[in-house]
Amino acid sequence: MSTFVLIHGSWGGGWVWDRMRPVLEEAGHRVLTPTLTGFAEKHDLSRPEVGLSTHVREIADLLTIEEVDNAILVGHSYGGMVITGVVALVPDRISQIVYVDAFAPITGESAFAVLPWLEDAFTAPEGGPDWEVAPLDPRALGADEDGATWLEGRLTPMPLLTHAEPLGPGSEDVLEGKEVTYIHCAAQEFFNDTAAAAAKRGFRLVTLTEVTHVEVLVQPRVLARELLLLL
């Protein structure tokens, strides 16, 4: 039995894995799907100071509390920022790292540094604080109407610092000694450059031509297949 720890992306929550979690559990594996502070059911904890380092620490603490020592750590989109930081804090609790159409930063990079256009695309929620970011339309992220309906009814604003705070040091050396996979959803171009850079860094590159950035969540058996092939 392996333990999958699935980290969601922008505006999401642990719920984004609801369609895939049963597939992995039916295959006999343990699955943890935490919601990051400031998102979804934890949105009431959103504060200006909640950022990347907050989420890195809480996932590292989760692995310790749950006594996970063989985690397959999976991050989608913004979740890639988080898992990169977690690797530096608790490397001995992680067996594999998997980026799913995600940020794969190096020390000193923020999400805005990786995808500079995001900073202009992000806006504050209507009537909300200027330190939060309103969800983008899932259709712009590659969702069809069914997928958009499932997603947009549950997406919440998130703290801006999540994407503005740079990654701390320590992850590069650890990643060199781990099995690292980058799964690129090539039906959309958001992370083309990131996937190419990941391949140059020696990450195993898997290209999915049939799903977009968010379809990989809406149609989860495609991703589940790739995750199970890692075992």
144-162 per-residue burial string, b: 16 or more CB within 10 A, e: under 16: eeebbebbeeebbbbbbbb
Q: How far apart are CA 143 and CA 113, in angstroms?
A: 25
77 annotated active-site = yes
Q: Which two tokens stand for residue 31?
A: 């699955």
The type of residue at 205 is L
Distance of CA 22 to the CA centre of its chain: 19
Which residue of the set 10, 46, 77, 171 is catalytic? 77
Residues paired with residue 179 on neighbouring β-strands, in sequence order: 96
Q: How far apart are CA 126 and CA 139, in angstroms?
A: 20
Q: How far apart are CA 121 and CA 178, in angstroms?
A: 34
Of 190, 138, 131, the closest CA to residue 157 belongs to 131
Q: How far apart are CA 143 and CA 135, in angstroms?
A: 14
Apex 131 CA angle, 126 and 136, nearest 5:
50
Instruction: Tell me which residues are annotated as active site.
Output: 77
